[in-house]
Every structure is written in C-alpha cells, then in structure tokens.
Amino acid sequence: MGAETELKLAILPEYAQDVAGLALPGAGEKEPGDALELTNIYYDTPGCDLHLARSALRIRRQGAGYIQTLKSAGNGQAGLSIRNEWEWPRDEPTLDRAVLADHLPDSLTGGEGLLQTLVPVFETNFQRRIVMLEGDEAGGWRVEMAFDQGEILAGGRSEPICEIELELKRGTPDCLFQLASEIARQLPVQVLDASKAQRGYRLAGHDVHALPQVNVEFQNSETFTLVSLISACLKAWPPLLDAAFAGDEVALGRLVKTLDLLLVALESLPEVAEHCQVLISQYQRLRSEVARAHDWRLLSCMPAAWKAQRKQEAKSHLEGLRHKTLPGQLALATGELLWQMAEDAEGDVNER
C-alpha cells in the first residue's frame, strides 16, 4: 500500500499546446517524456458499492502490461487529494479478485460474493506526458507532473480529459500548491476536486450532478464555524463558476451569494483579515467581475430589449473571465491557506 498525494488542474483545450512551455521550478532543461497511451476500465458492483464507499477499482493497460489498482476514500480540497492505493501487476486484463478481499473498505459487506458481481462501468482513455520536477528547498522535494489528454467513456457518452496531475513523490504538500500556483499564474486553470473516476460515475449516470450550495450553520466555536464556511465556499464556488460559464443562470446567482459569504467569512477571521489582505482584495475583484455578469438582473423594471443586450454582454464578459488566471490562482491560494491552518492546528494539538 502507498499513500498517493496529488493535486489536479483542468486546462482549457485551447491552452493544451502551452503546457510544454511552462516555466516551472525544478524543471531545469528537462523535456516531457514520450507520450504514454493509457487505457483504463473501472469496475464496480451493479449497485456501485465501491463508489458508495468512496473507493475506485480499475485495470490499466500500460505498454504491454496491465496494472490492477484499488484506491480508497481520499481527503483534501482545492484539488489536493490524499488517499491510499494498492497496485498489483497483471499479465492480462482480468481482475484478480482474491487480492481485493483484504483491502475493501470496512463499510462493505458481502466479501467474496460481492467481489463476484464486479462488472465494467466506464473507461478513461488518455495520452499522458510526464516531467519530473525536483528541488533542494525545504529538505528536498520531488513531484511528478503528468499532462493527460483523452476522454471518459460511459454508456455511449463521452467527456474530454485535459488536465495536469501533480503527484508528490518526496516532500510536503505545500510544494504541490506552490507548483500549481505557478502554473495558474501562467495559464487559466480550474482546480479539480473530482477525480477521473468520480467524473466517470457521473457520466455513467450513477451520480446526480447537483449544483453545490453552502449551508450556514454554527459549529462548536466561532473560529471553527468560519473556517468550515471558508472550506465549504471553496468547494462550491469553482464548480458554480464553471456552470455559469456554461450559461447556467441559477449557478450564477448562487455563485454571487457564495462569494459574498466567503468574503464575510474571510474578513471575520482575525488571522486572515490581518495577514491576508491581498487574498481578500483579489476575491473582491472576482466578486466585481461576477457582478458585471449578474447584477444587471436586479433592474427587473427595464424593457426586454435592454435586458437582452445586457444578457449578451454578460455572456461575453463571462467568456473573457473564463480565460483569465484569477479564478485558478484564488482557489489555490485559499486551498493552501486552509491546509496551512489545518497543519498549524494539528501542531498545536501535538504540543499539548
């Protein structure tokens, strides 16, 4: 078993050709390796018991061989995911059910009988190019940067894959955030909390793709409530923005409220309000950008022709925002902030 720590960024297809030219720390003069053709079949029970237990099982063809992989439920946010995984080399593209029994989540029952019901659910097929990044800072770090292009296939439908995965090989997760932030400074990116497997299940119809909504509830203490609210807003606003780019007006309205909540929460947390004024001002800038596409709707008294013109202008403005680096940089900066706060809190507990 190994713990996989990685951070994922979606890239707009029109910027795919720019990935090879990214100027990144630790890259030196390295060029991406030869493209790897990876085909993956994901398995589950007819009732999707593995998915419900937040696990994923696949067989990957890589070159002339095969690898069977089981991944457990992960933790993380702002694209950062930490999860356990088990791998078994295979000579053929068939499941070795015997090795799975000892690694299934505790929530699953049925044992051998459950394993016998595993069937293919969807595929992810893509081309991968890898560059190894490394440096001596902070005791040394090493990160595998993989750029994937391809598609997810399920039930006759497809969804494109165009993303960067940063996988930590040595060091601490903060170097992932720093590398991702440098990528986001150079290219417009969307931080991905959903894995390829999660998107595959959604495409196969096993997940309802509902717009996220932040619920405000008091939790234990004022500080914990504010941190939880910031975390919830961070999970919500990037997919809401993506849905707004696609023309979803409900998502646009919900995005405005989520950014307002996030700003209030950031400004209400003393350590953030004191030390993170740049982050807050950048969120105010994003809120202003979104307001240009949304707030004209408050003038419901205006004639239809005026509204139609504003709606078209809003669409054009959102398309422009889609190509800006601000949203990706903000999501990553907030994710790193929350990760550092969690690390500090854990350190305080260990010192007691």
Question: pLDDT, tens digit, for every residue of 204-241?
Answer: 998 777 899 998 889 889 999 999 999 999 999 999 99
CB atoms within 10 A of CB 173: 20
CA-closest candidate to residue 61, choices 108, 116, 126, 10: 126
Work out the average pLDDT over 24-28.
Answer: 75
Q: Tell me what pLDDT residue 115 has.
A: 85
Per-residue confidence band for 341, with pLDDT thresholds at 50, 70 and 90 = confident
Mean pLDDT, residues 289-303 taken together: 94
Give the pLDDT band of residue 164 (cuts 50, 70, 90).
Answer: very high
Residue 349 confidence (pLDDT) above 50: no
The whole-number average pLDDT for the span 91-108 is 84
Boundaries of every domain in the chain: 2-203, 222-351
Q: Is the pTM for the entire model greater than 0.85? A: yes
Predicted pLDDT at 209: 73
The yes-or-no verdict on residue 102 having pLDDT over 90 is no
Q: Which residues of 277-301 are buried (b: 16+ CB within 10 A; e: fewer)?
A: eebeebbeebbebbeebbebbeeee
**pLDDT at residue 63 in the model:** 82
Amino acid 83: pLDDT:
87
pLDDT at 29: 57
Instruction: Please tell me the CATH code under which domain 222-351 is placed.
Output: 1.20.120
Looking at residue 259, its pLDDT comes to 97
Range 2-203: architecture per CATH? Beta Barrel (2.40)
Percent of the chain with pLDDT over 70: 92
Measured on CA atoms in the order 85, 91, 96, 98, is the torsion positive or negative? negative
| Residue 94: Cβ within 10 Å count | 10
Residue 137 is predicted with a pLDDT of 75
Q: What is the per-residue pLDDT across 107-158, written as a single tens digit (0 to 9) for each?
A: 676 666 788 899 999 999 999 999 999 888 767 899 999 999 999 999 899 9
Q: 311 versus 348: which is more confidently predicted?
A: 311
What is the mean predicted confidence (pLDDT) over 308-332?
95
Where does the pLDDT of residue 68 fall: very low under 50, low under 70, confident under 90, or very high at 90 and above?
very high
- 304-322 vs 277-294: helix crossing angle, rounded to 10: 140
User: CB 84: neighbour CB atoms within 10 A?
Assistant: 15
Return the minimum-mean-pLDDT range out of 55-69, 109-123, 254-268. 109-123
Q: How far is the C-alpha of 162 from the C-alpha of 14, rounded, in Å?
A: 10
Q: In angstroms, what is the C-alpha Rg of the chain? A: 22
Mean predicted confidence (pLDDT) in 4-17: 93
State the average pLDDT over residues 54-77: 87
CA distance 36 to 339: 32
More confident residue, 251 or 100: 251
pLDDT for 245 equals 95
Rounded percentage of the chain residues whose pLDDT exceeds 90:
66
pLDDT range class, residue 170, cuts 50, 70, 90: very high
Of the ranges 132-146, 191-205, 332-346, which is most confident? 191-205
**What confidence score (pLDDT) does residue 313 get?**
95
Q: Which residues face 143 on adjacent strands?
A: 133, 168
What's the gap between Cα 227 and its chain centre?
A: 19
Residue 76 has pLDDT above 70, yes or no: no
Provide the pLDDT for residue 13: 93
